[in-house]
Amino acid sequence: MLPVCVGADEPSVPLSAKSAVLYEAQGGRWVYEKDADVRLPMASTTKIMTALIALRTLELDAEYKIPAEACGIEGSSLYLKEGDTVSVRDLMYALLLRSANDAASALAILSFGSESAFADEMNAEARRLGLQNTSFKNPHGLDTEGHYSSARDLAVMLDAAMRDERFLEICGCEKYTVALDGRSQVLYNHNKLLYLTDYVTCGKTGYTKKSGRCLVSAAERDGVRLIAVTMSASDDWNDHIRLFDYGFGRFERRTVISKADRIYADVAGGTKAGVQCAPTEDFSAVLEKGSTVTCDTLLPSLILAPICEGEIIGILRIYENERLIGEICLAACEAIEYKEQRIPLIRRIFKAVSGK
């Protein structure tokens, strides 16, 4: 389902961010936008894409010796040393909790041999995801000419990464201990929203002097999943709380169709004149509060017996405010046998015409 915009109403309190979006993930809806497609430096939110590709390329429990090229990277660091034996799992936790730049570099080199080759794959994945305003030059997000993204693209990026349960587990972890050849380090997640709220599930922070504070986070409450992005924000924690309060106040998950529902369909040539049919599954969706849901039943113009119990005989299309949000098959709840006639119709017609 293609993402749609459902309105430009703003949260009651203005945001500090230069650029921001709020995305309702299940329905693919852009709920709030503020300069959402402006290209800006993204700092360590870059590591969302780094994690996505590294998880696809490397086995979590594999261990590697750290190459010299991954050591001494400026900024937040795991303080890797050349020759350290480290698991991919530990590097991933360092990447997403501490935002370690040397872990990002190590994962890139171990995956594709060099940072530049890894950046090429990051850009290829960006194209596959349809990101129009993103360009990667490195795996860590340190300021580099031509390294940028947009609030909208970062939301799509996090949505894609969250489809991997391993990413969710690591990115949503509050504390983790790594061991580097006997040297233990306790890592604490930089995403304070994990501690400030009971609904934020994961996210990634970022900061450089050029980018300002960047934050991408996901939250879930009562079956509603939201993704918020702020770029160049002086008050990003509160910006995200305001965005999530706004989104959770606007949407709810509703069960629209149940397998217990019944629809009657006419049947020709059977032992019964009709058959009851039911949806093959329950259908629930994230909907705007107060929105209208309607259904269209699509059945053949003529349903002929015999019909087997469980046979698919139609489709139910479900709309929210005239927007198609789902389709469910309709199956027969019972078997209808063919009603055999003493004199088939063609013989009766022949008898009437010929008089025989």
From residue 63, how far is each of 84, 108, 112 by CA, in Å?
10, 14, 16
CA pair distance 295, 288, nearest whole angstrom? 17
Amino acid at 29: R
CA pair distance 216, 203, nearest whole angstrom? 5
Amino acid at 112: F
Sign of CA dihedral 114, 120, 107, 37: positive
Amino acid at 226: L
Q: Give the list of residues 6+ apart from residue 244 with CB closer than 8 angstroms, or none.
A: 22, 197, 199, 200, 219, 226, 228
Strand (E) positions, 183-259?
Answer: 183-188, 200-208, 212-221, 224-231, 251-257
Token couple for 351: 């008898």
CB neighbourhood size of 323 (10 A): 13
**Following DSSP, what letter does each residue of 135-168 receive, concatenated?**
B-S-SS----TT-BB-HHHHHHHHHHHTTSHHHH
Sign of CA dihedral 124, 126, 130, 134: negative
**Would you say 134 and 153 are in contact if contact means Cβ atoms under 8 Å apart?**
yes
The active-site residue out of 47, 76, 149, 204 is 47
Selection from 295, 230, 302 nearest residue 256 by Cα: 295
Longest dimension (CA), the chain: 104
The active-site residue out of 19, 34, 76, 99 is 99
- 226 strand-pairing partners: 24, 219
Q: Is 87 a catalytic residue?
A: no
CA pair distance 316, 7, nearest whole angstrom? 28
Q: Is 12 a catalytic residue?
A: no
Q: Is 47 a catalytic residue?
A: yes
From residue 305, how far is each of 37, 214, 233 by CA, in Å?
56, 63, 65
Q: Which residues are catalytic?
A: 44, 47, 99
